[in-house]
Amino acid sequence: MTDADPAAPLGFHHIRLELAREPQAPAGDPEAGYDILAPLTAERRLDAAVWREAPEKCRVRRFSHGATLAFGRLRHAAPDRWFLDFEPGEADDVHGFRLADERLETGEYVSLSTDDQMHTYVVARSEPV
């Protein structure tokens, strides 16, 4: 993913989520998280209508300490369920907790469920591409 992605339609943003403070990471971990390329509404929420027009453009990168762990896609399931899909099947899916309601702007927090554990991430970046 790049800051100026010519393949990204209008309204798409680069959203960077970094692990927030939690018991296993008392100071948080800015080196662990996700880069997401996704459409946002004017209210900075995920835009399902634009997603439906170009779901293949909604990409995700999982990273940790300088390494890319996986590439995947942002997926939407009606009515308001969003998840990060890295491989066929559901075993590795990362589900957002009320992600449709969250404002994805810098400084806000979101919760994602991985391996049956909920983790909190801070939106470290949310900029148009």
Tens of pLDDT, residue by residue over 28-53, are: 999 999 999 999 999 999 999 999 99
Task: Say what the pTM is.
Answer: 0.89
Cα separations in angstroms, 126 against 19, 41, 90, 95, 109: 15, 12, 27, 19, 12
Give me the percent of the chain exceeding a pLDDT of 70: 90
What pLDDT does 6 receive?
Answer: 54
The answer to whether residue 2 scores a pLDDT higher than 60 is no
Out of 5-14, 44-53, 111-120, give the one with best mean pLDDT: 44-53
Cα separations in angstroms, 8 against 1, 39, 48, 58, 73: 10, 9, 15, 8, 14
The answer to whether residue 23 scores a pLDDT higher than 60 is yes
The answer to whether residue 88 scores a pLDDT higher than 80 is no
